[in-house]
Structure 1
Amino acid sequence: MEFTPTQKRAALWIAFALLAVFLLRALGPVITPFAIAAVLAYVLTPLVDRLCEMAGGKFPRWLAAAVVELLLFVVLALLVLLVVPVLYKELPLMREQLPGMFDKLDAWARPWLRELGIYVALDLASLKAQAVGWLNANYSDAVSSLFSSLRLGGSVAAVVIFNLILTPVALYYLLLDWDKVTHRVLELVPPRARPGVDSFTHEADAVLGQYLRGQLLVMVTMAVYYSTGLALFGLDLALPIGVFTGLAMFVPYVGFGIGLILALLAGFLQFASAKALVMVAVVYGSGQVVEGFFLTPRLVGERIGLHPLAVIFALLAFAQLFGFVGVLVALPASAVLLVAIRRLRAGYMGSNLYQG
């Protein structure tokens, strides 16, 4: 059986894709900082270009790249500072109020379980003692344990520190020479294949741009929504928790889950009643409805054409293949893959193989 040139090219591209996936998995720890830097450079390059166009095009690119990267670090630092005050305030409150919360749980749970005919021996006194003992533990022990674990896993700590140093450096040079890098990569494409590749990259770039703009609108809108909703219930930490939940939605499901846990914890410690459950159920439940059925389908989903099941599958698949970095790039990468699948489908539908 002899293969046609089209089939040979398709087989070659499939082999190349499989080889790329294998190399990405094998060299994951080495590629991670460069992959993160490349994704950030793709997002931030238009902003660098805008700055370079200021002052009649006399704004130097090296300075524009440095300013944009500095702004990125400021935004990331602000996100961290949104969470730190929450933990700093809630941990002492938890240590003080936990014994009373266990007593209330005991007084509420036992009669309710008896009415249902369930007799469970809950050793809440022991649980309370263990929890209070853990919260009252000497923090120096925790610090020494941390340093001990770092010594035992020195290679892991070295990799983390290496990535933290290398990623900003790689990002700066990619922002500085993004056009040159992309031009050098596209030069490797054979001249006869360049029209198709150029068409694909332009379509993928348009889809990614629509995704990023839509996702940014969703994040900002939901940050305002959650902050307002929690504030209406009287939560003291409504602003930091609401803003963090909205902005962390860039990582689907993970950001929302962390924000929900923080809101539930803060609500229980402040109200010490079922009001915390009502607050979280109303604010986060309605927020999921607004975001899932209105904002995301119109601002993100319709723009990239991904079905909700496809989103879940993409998150799980990329997380399995590439870890946490895979979760971050799952939806943008899926959008690019969707463009490729559309083109493959159109080619198959118009081929003799389909038409018989």
Structure 2
Amino acid sequence: MKHTPKPTPDGQDQRSDMTRLQTAALIIIAFAVVLFLLVQARFILISLATAIILFSLTSDVISFIARARIGPFHVPNWLASVVAVLLIATALITLTSIVVAQINTVLVTTLAYAERAPDAVAALFAWAGADVESAVRNSMQSIELSGYLRGAAGGATSLTQATVLVILFVGFLFAERVWFQTKLLNFTGDPAQAKRIGRIIASIIRRVNYYLLVKTIISLATGAMTYALARAFGLEIAMPLGVVTFVLNFIPNIGSIIATGLVVLAAYIQLGDPWMTSLIFVIAGTIQFVNGSIIDPMLMGRALRLSSFGILLSLAFWGAVWGIPGMFLSVPIMVMMLVVCSHVAALRPFAILLSREGLPEEEAALEQR
């Protein structure tokens, strides 16, 4: 009778190392495949992500309207959903028209300023000598603006196409919401587990909605202040600067810097006065700092205090994968990841890293809500 020899500790270590190596290789391959799909299907996925966010913003309101009663009558769920889709479509088309119009205004103004920009920028380096000033002027004149302008115009066209696709996605999401709880229960096969998943989804929706609400209020205030500042100093593109500032403030950290730079650049090219431009820079920077670094964190509360380093990583990753739309969606995606990781035991260390104070939401808090 033959006996199988017991594996030696060295053999066990080799098999364990091989298993870890295979697992690591599979993770790398899976990540590469997912990344490839994210890049290749970026237009559809960006539209779908935007539609999900818009759906979450209005889903609770629709449920509230459907539960309301006026005497013996109540609003049917389907009617509330249809009205919501129509309102969302009207708002999206209106907002897209405004943004595209302001982009066109900025493009036209950029062409008008293009001839004056090299001399204006070169004058900033006059203190370094005539050679440096001439070199800067020549460098500015060598920049081809036509390619950038064509890219911006193409982005405006893509924005209109994405709006139509988002409206379609929102309509289908509202059609599916009626059967969502039934599908979730049948999928899990456990009423308690289905209820827990529903609470996690509700927590994600609540946090994303609160973030977008606060961010919209802060961005509106910042855009209005920037518009008032530009009008006070007689800038020709005051309205486009206000609209662009409102939009860019949804991009964390970098958006406010770009918005301030655009205001200062427009002021210097039009006014040509370094001291006046410096004053505009101080005022615009103060507006961004107070609204973004003081008021914004106060309104967000501890529940939405994400790690600053995590926000930068999310911004860099989604910006590299999806471009500018990915920057806008980076924080909502990070909020979703934070909530999911908070309530999955194996992923909770990632939630601690994503939260600013290292205190993600506890399971008890989810049960209370």
Inter-CA distance 220–101: structure 2 relative to 1 (3 Å threshold): closer
| 2:306 match: secondary structure | coil
Name the counterpart of 1:327: 327
Q: How far is the alpha carbon of 1:222 from its aligned partner?
A: 1.3
SS of the aligned residue for 1:36 comes to helix
* Partner residue in 2 for 1:39: 53
After TM superposition, give the deviation of residue 324 of structure 1 in Å.
4.2
TM-score w.r.t. structure 2 length?
0.67
Mapping for residues 19-58 of structure 1, pairs under 5 Å:
22-23=33-34, 25-26=36-37, 28-29=40-41, 31-46=45-60, 56-57=74-75
| In structure 1, distance between residues paired with 2:348 and 2:120 | 63
Deviation at 1:85, TM superposition (A): 1.9
SS in 1 for 2:259: helix
Q: Distance in 2 between matches of 1:267 and 1:324?
A: 25
Identity %: 17
In structure 1, the partner of 2:225 is 225
Q: For 1:297 and 1:80, locate their aligned partners in 2 and report how far apart those are by CA, in whole Å.
A: 31
Report matched runs for 1:89-238 at 5 Å. 89-95=109-115, 97-98=116-117, 101=120, 105=123, 109-110=125-126, 112-113=127-128, 120=132, 122-123=134-135, 126-127=138-139, 130=142, 166-181=165-180, 184-185=183-184, 187-191=186-190, 192-238=192-238
Shift of 1:258: 4.2
Equivalent residue in structure 2 for 1:75, among 95, 107, 111? 95
Per-residue CA deviation, residues 139-169 of structure 1 (Å, 9 max, x unaligned), is 8xx8xx979xx9xxxxxxxx99975654332
Contact 1:204 1:339 in 2 (8 A): yes
Greater RCO, 1 or 2 (C-alpha within 8 Å, sep 6+) = 1
Structure 1 CA distance for aligned equivalents of residues 208 and 334 of structure 2 = 10
Deviation at 1:267, TM superposition (A): 0.9
Structure 1 residue 187, shift from structure 2 partner: 3.9
* 1:212 Cα deviation after fit: 2.0
Separation (CA, whole Å) in 1 of partners of 2:285 and 2:316:
23
The equivalent residue for 1:5 is none
**Do 1:260 and 1:280's aligned partners in 2 also have CA atoms closer than 8 Å?**
no
Q: Distance in 1 between matches of 2:65 and 2:339?
A: 31
**Shift, 1:298, TM fit:** 1.2
Q: Which residue of 2 aligns with 1:337?
A: 337
List structure 1 segments (4+ residues) > 6 angstroms apart after TM superposition: 18-21, 50-55, 159-162, 345-349
